[in-house]
Chains A and B, each alone.
Chain A
Amino acid sequence: MAVTPANATTSRASRIEAALLALGIIVLVALPFFIYPIFVMKMMCFALFACAFNLLLGYTGLLSFGHAAFFGGAAYFTAHAVKEWGVGPEIGILIGVIGAAVLGVIIGFFAIRRQGIYFAMITLALSQMFFFFCVQADFTGGEDGIQGVPRGNFLGLLDLQDPHAMYYFVMANFLLGLFCVWRIVNSPFGMILRSIRENESRAISLGYSVQNYKLAAFVMSAALAGLAGAVKALVFQFATLTDVAWQMSGEVILMTLLGGIGTLVGPIFGAGFVVALQNMLATSAFPVTIATGLIFMICVLVFRRGVVGEIYAWLERRNTGNR
């Protein structure tokens, strides 16, 4: 049957992903003893952000240019809740995630009515509106940001001020987020999302209310991006305008493209790479923005599927070549 090779490669790919994931978890547990923990925590936040974004771009085919609003918005909500209302970190994160989801409903409601470039522009416009709201609103502290956010005690027990405790707290959130993405993608719901990506009119003709599915995917993606932003606010103990600015929306696109759209591991790789690059180039004389720009160009010109995507494609080619 014509379906078999495709099935074989997907199962192969998912087996590789499972193996990589298992390996990744082991590495993650051991990592803070070798690499500076805060740096790895930051990588995990951005990796989750990129995965959340990929849920929309890779699996539903919607290119959002406004994901910074959910990421940075959640950071503000969590920071404000923890600092001003004195709630614990778990409630703070929950508030951030819910806030991001609400933003997702509002922005998604308008954006999914259009497709392609118009969709991207609407998300950009609405997220810019949110950016300017954050610039002016009192609770965000303008360009000073919300500073000195306490990390608090997880469930009142575990003191997160300890770097290793915080590390495993972030890791748990990261894995939870990844699990959500994986579960969504590998469910009947995820199959429908992919069918919308492949052929929207056929999905409509099969009787699916495509708009509702798109909105649901958008809100889920927003909530997961919010989880990443909320955790980041606790890691760094502040929330600033950087995370809601449009450049952040661009950065997450770069991360996802670089790693590989529509793969689970790709965005994690891309995020890790971009964050590491920003950190490394910070101490060199070479301007960071030029480096990331060049890498983006090379990626688009030479390996369009992204690093991980190219590896999968190569495995697939080898696979079909053997037959």
Chain B
Amino acid sequence: MTVKLSSLALALLVGTSLSAVAQEFSDNKVKIGILNDQSGVYADFGGKWSYEAAKMAVEDFGGKVKDMPVEVVTADHQNKADIASNIARQWYDTEQVDAIMELTTSSVALAVQGISAEKKKIDIVTGAASSDLTGKACSPYGFHWAYDTHALAVGTGGALVGQGGDTWFFLTADYAFGYSLEEQTSNFVKSKGGNVLGAVRHPLATTDYSSFLLQAQASGAKVIGLANAGLDTANSIKQAAEFGIVAGGQRLAALLFTLAEVHGLGLEAAQGLTLTEGFYWDRDDASREWSNRFMERTGRMPNMIQAGTYSAVTQYLKAIDKAGTDETEAVAKNLHEMPVEDVFARGGKVGANGRMIYDMYLMEVKKPSESTQPWDYYKVLATIPGDEAYIKPAEAGCPLVK
């Protein structure tokens, strides 16, 4: 009780002693929390590099918005939704955090988006895939920035057919995430005139893919789609290389794989792999300049999660700048309305369901002989326009969009 009283007294004191700005900015600063996995399986996917990207965004913005200092805090949720939920609530309730971003792992993202909606705070997800975040679990203050399962399925499934990959065979992780990736991707393959020859399911966290890969090889399909994630994808790619699947003329298509994982596997194993990402550092001068600065700070090139976090923080600060306040409703309104134009997204826009819509790229991993410098990993096969890649806000199943 004493704590409450004294903080109330303090608030009154601060309130009376400061000018009009104090009413427009909660507690006289803008505080952004980066919450993700920094010690577990997704530590490279976003990890503490996303925190670094967020700090870069604040520095590039000048460290201040409307003369209010901007602070970035971070925490490692260890892939546990309860830890994430505990930290998120504590941040909002006692540590004056105004927005939480990144949120790798869908169980965490869904939980924190729920809390944010309840507490009327902004959350911007860059690290999680589930398209439910802007579908049935959407929030008026929740945004989904970097990618989602739908965009990956359209990118890899739909666009690859256009590149001649018209017969498919799936290697699917035997649980809900795998099924939905396989189903969504098959739909796009079929809608583009392709053919799905079959699928084989493997248990989560399998270490031996030989029998599954042999079936895939024997199917004669031009493309083998990997509807799995994380270590499962990495292991299946490595073993596919040992079986000479890509060398034999078949194509491997990973549905959720980024530059960080390609770097982890190495070009020898990953060559010829097709995947979809929303960002590549070697895209144009602006992206090269920014990525090289990121490289200097972290010793690695950014993937779409890290670059997306940079973009999300920047856009959030722009929205505050335009609104002149960090009050949630006003900032969320601006975030919905303002176009996204930065190093990450060109001509991006935000739908009423909170989905940031921007162009995705279908990439092919280079052969070791084609790579001329460190981190020179991708060839861009096709650009998928944002409107094709993402579900239309009205069709996403979000109850907020009529």
Contact = CB atoms under 8 A, between A and B. Distances in A.
Given A33-B1, A242-B79, A282-B83, A288 B39 contact: yes
A320 interface: no
Interface residues of A, number: 35
A36 B94 contact: yes
A209 interface: no
A159 interface: no
A143 B86 contact: no
B110 interface: yes
Interface string B107-135: 10011001000000000000000101000
Contact of B83 (A33, A237, A278): A278
A133 B85 CA distance: 25
Interface stretch (B170-178, B189-197, B377-385): B170-178
Contacts of A314: none
A142 B177 contact: yes
Contact of B85 (A142, A238, A243, A278): A238
Interface centre among B2, B74, B111 (most CB of A within 10 A): B111
Nearest to B77: A282
A236 B80 contact: no
Contact of B81 (A33, A39, A145, A290): A145
B230 to A, nearest CB: 11
Given A135-B175, A142-B176, A288-B76, A148 B81 contact: no
B130 A144 contact: yes
A282 B90 CA distance: 13
Interface residues of B, number: 41
B204 A132 contact: yes
Q: Is the interface of A mostly helix, strand, loop or mixed?
A: helix
Contact of A38 (B73, B86, B130): B86
Contacts of B110: 144-145, 147, 238
A241 B107 contact: yes
B106 interface: yes
B127 to A, nearest CB: 14
Q: Which of A144, A243, A278 is most buried by chain B, counting CB atoms within 10 A of its CB?
A: A144
Given A33-B1, A39-B90, A282-B75, A242 B80 contact: yes
B288 interface: no
B90 A38 contact: yes
Nearest to B35: A282
A165 B341 CA distance: 47
A80 interface: no
Interface string A29-63: 00001101011001000000000000000000000
A279 B82 contact: no
Given A238-B111, A288-B78, A143 B177 contact: yes
B82 A242 contact: yes
A149 B4 CA distance: 29
A214 to B, nearest CB: 31
Contacts of B85: 38, 236-238
Interface string B179-220: 000000000000000000000000110000000000000000
Nearest to B33: A283
Contacts of A136: 174-176
Interface of A: 33-34, 36, 38-39, 42, 132, 135-136, 138, 141-145, 147-148, 232, 236-238, 240-243, 278-279, 281-283, 285, 287-290
Question: Sorted from nearest, which 5 A-B pairs have the closest CB atoms?
Answer: A142-B176, A287-B39, A282-B75, A145-B107, A135-B175
Given A142-B175, A242-B80, 18 more contacts: A33-B2, A38-B85, A38-B86, A39-B86, A39-B90, A42-B82, A141-B176, A143-B177, A147-B110, A148-B114, A236-B85, A237-B111, A238-B85, A238-B110, A240-B107, A242-B107, A278-B83, A279-B86
17 contacts: A33-B1, A135-B175, A138-B176, A143-B105, A145-B111, A148-B114, A232-B82, A236-B81, A236-B85, A237-B114, A238-B85, A238-B110, A240-B111, A242-B81, A242-B107, A279-B86, A290-B39
